[in-house]
Homo-oligomer: A and B are copies of this chain.
Amino acid sequence: MATKLNKKERLRQLKIEIDKNPFYTDDELAELFSVSVQTIRLDRMELGIPELRERIKNVAEENYHKVKAIVGSEIVGELIDLELGKSGISVFEPTPDMAFLKTKIIRGHYIYSQAESLAISVIDADAALIGVANIKYKYPVRIGDRLVAKAEVIRRRGNKYFVWVMIKVKNKEVFRGKFILASLESDNTEKEMQ
């Protein structure tokens, strides 16, 4: 949007944009409409549109009901999309206490936890465990970064599921993992998983 809009028109289009993509940050919207972040905040208040964090939570709430293999509260991050047995998306903002004291870089296992719990969430079974994971950390993640993880069930063989997870910060891929999960009957968890 190259030209500035009058306020009425901006409010109308702002609502349309957020309906299309509820995960725009105020920064991104400010850029899109060539106005200040403060203006976007006032516009949102006028339209009664909650802040991003709240919007993410609202979308996530609906998805937690669909999850089968894990309890919603055990998912690291907010589950903003889920097609059970197929794919899922979660958003996670690590907190400062999750960073290494020395390097201020977010500790790998928190990123891993987001990926692992999302991989379990997409499985269409009452319980599932990770058997194998091949993972790659591509760029360091820092305090304030917003991690968007996408999981996809690539194939299924019996009770084994192959799930790929990619995590991005903005458009940069920071993590990639391939997981093999086994769905469980409640009486066979003593058997070897691989």
Contacts and interface: CB of A to CB of B under 8 A. Distances in A.
Interface in A91-128: 100-103, 105, 107-109, 112-113, 116-117, 126-127
A171 interface: no
A189 B140 contact: yes
> Is chain A's interface secondary structure helix, strand, loop, or mixed overall?
loop
A129 interface: yes
A46 interface: no
Interface in A162-194: 184, 186, 189-190, 192-194
A101 B71 contact: yes
A109 to B, nearest CB: 4
B129 A193 contact: no
Interface stretch (A7-15, A48-56, A130-138): A130-138
Nearest to A103: B127
Contact of A129 (B108, B131, B190): B108
Nearest to A177: B133
Nearest to A76: B109
A190 B136 contact: no
A28 interface: no
A37 B126 CA distance: 40
B105 A189 contact: yes
Contacts of A138: 192-194
